[in-house]
Amino acid sequence: MSIEEKILNFIAEKQVISTEELVNELKGTEKHTLMAMVGVLKEKGLICSSNLLSPTTLVITSKGKNSI
């Protein structure tokens, strides 16, 4: 399973997570690599993020759910 798939599946399990939760869940991957993959998933429209409240939260979109 690719890093992108792991990220997408983890977010799908919880629906809404913080970036810190994601980093803690995927400890074996460097933070900057994870954030790069999050960026790719956001560009594809599979997840979205909000930084209105700290910490930044990640949310799966309906397109993301359907792609799993």
Determine the 3-state secondary structure of 15 from DSSP. coil
Q: Is the pLDDT of residue 64 over 90?
A: no
Tell me the mean pLDDT in the region 52-67.
85
The model carries a pTM of 0.84
Tell me the mean pLDDT in the region 34-61.
89
Q: What's residue 36's pLDDT?
A: 93
Q: Helices 3-14 and 31-43 meet at what angle, rounded to 10?
A: 80
